[in-house]
Amino acid sequence: MSSSPLILTSDPHHPHQDYDRLKEVKQFDDSKLGVKGLLDSGLASSSSSIPLIFHHPPDSRPGPIPHTRPTHTHHSIPIIDFSAPKPILTDQITRAASTVGFFQITNHGIPLHVIQRTLAAVKSFNELPAEVKTAHYHREMGRGVTFSTNVDLYQSKAASWRDTLQMRVSPVPPNPSDIPEVVREELLEWNKEVERIGKRVLGFLSEGLGVEEGRLKEMTCLEGRTMAAHYYPYCPRPDLTYGLTSHTDPGVVTVLVQNEVRGLQVKVGEEWVDVEPVEGSVVINIGDILQIISNDEYKSVEHRVLASPLQEPRVSVAVFCNPSNRDGLFGPLPELVSQKKPARYRQFTLSDYLQRFFKKELDGKTLTNYYRL
């Protein structure tokens, strides 16, 4: 841990001309405290404010957070029974993927205790003493495992209220010794469950497009997987910041599990719709690459996580399923292109795509517009 004391500006009326954001971001990052460490140290325990680096611009703040009840909207996120007959599943998943871009699945065969153990392990890691966690805090993704606050901390206009343990799990798994011991067994086991579920989901999505069941899998769309275990602690001022700013996911599909603390929202039309926690369910959402591959048949939609005023932390584990073929060309499937519906995107390599993605901040990020013809 940095030997210099961490002093972050927390006065919301602090004059901006005297505020050196980069300096304070670096000071926070060098401390290796993370958001949970800020709370534990007492630097963000007041209900009056939070450090200025977490203040989002006034015109983009979430405002009052009604976490005690669901937000009233005219839409809901589909909940799909994975034990239903195959034709019904194909129809329901296709409809969800082509409209709201999100759905939850139940009765998927993953034991409830496996999901609970995975989430509990992530919670336990984030609640370890600061001196234990700081040994893991770094941003060097080349090592396969990182633990930090906000992957886009240095690019964003404002930081978000979460800490993340991220690791590459396929095609090149990390060295097990680089994974914190308290989560090692659970996250490696969870990766295997995601691979099994992901294969089935991609099969239904392929058939929904009218192509062979194994088409997306053959394109290596399940082989490049990255896992992000998010921890969203209590936030004294959830009206000033976010847990995760609005964005679309860059990959093919995302497989996510969450605990009972709500906060995940999906933009449907002009409304933000809660993804209500359902015990034992798995959340699936469409990423930008699949929207491109499907030639706009499937929708990659904006989603976000609100910061929470609840004392119980929100915990989620997302696995991003991407192609492993970085040098091959991706674009709309030829089977989906015709005179009536020409290709809406140009082709690209995954290497170029990911390079562009990580150059930008997360807020509002999507690459579908960049590759659109």
Look up the CATH number of the domain holding residue 142. 2.60.120.330
List, for residues 10-43, the tens digit of each pLDDT value: 544 444 556 799 999 999 999 999 999 999 988 7
Percent above pLDDT 70 for the chain: 90
Q: Is residue 73 part of a domain?
A: no
154 part of a folded domain: yes
In a domain, 70, yes or no: no
Mean pLDDT in residue range 127-146: 91
Mean pLDDT on 346-373: 79
Q: Give per-residue pLDDT as tens, 301-344.
A: 999 999 999 999 999 999 999 999 988 899 999 999 999 999 99
In a domain, 12, yes or no: no
Which pLDDT value is given to residue 69? 54
In a domain, 10, yes or no: no
In a domain, 13, yes or no: no
Flag whether pLDDT at 370 surpasses 70. yes
* Segments forming the whole domain that contains residue 197: 21-64+78-371
Model's pTM, two decimal places? 0.92
Write the secondary structure of the chain as one string of H (helix), E (strand) and C (coil).
CCCCCCCCCCCCCCCHHHCCHHHHHHHHHHHCCHHHHHHHHCCCCCCCCCCHHHCCCHHHCCCCCCCCCCCCCCCCCCEEECCCCHHHHHHHHHHHHHHCCEEEEECCCCCHHHHHHHHHHHHHHHCCCHHHHHHHCECCHHHCEEEECCCCCCCCCCCCCCEEEEEEEECCCCCHHHCCHHHHHHHHHHHHHHHHHHHHHHHHHHHHCCCCCCHHHHCCCCCEEEEEEEEECECCCCCCCEEEEEECCCCCEEEEEECCCCCEEEEECCEEEECCCCCCCEEEEECHHHHHHCCCCCCCCCEEEECECCCCCEEEEEEEEECCCCCCEECCCHHHCCCCCCCCECCEEHHHHHHHHCCCCCCCECCHHHHEC
Is the pLDDT reported for residue 357 higher than 90?
A: no
In a domain, 9, yes or no: no
Show Cβ contacts of residue 290 under 8 Å, excluding neighbours closer than 6 positions. Answer: 205, 216, 221, 251, 252, 253, 298, 300
pLDDT digits (tens, 9 = 90+) for 194-248: 999 999 999 999 999 999 999 999 999 999 999 999 999 999 999 999 999 999 9
Half-sphere exposure of 222 (CA within 13 A, CB side): 21
Number of domains in the chain: 1
pLDDT at 366: 72
Average pLDDT over residues 66-89: 81
In this structure, is residue 11 part of a structural domain?
no
List pLDDT tens digits, range 149-196.
Answer: 999 899 889 999 999 999 999 999 999 999 999 999 999 999 999 999
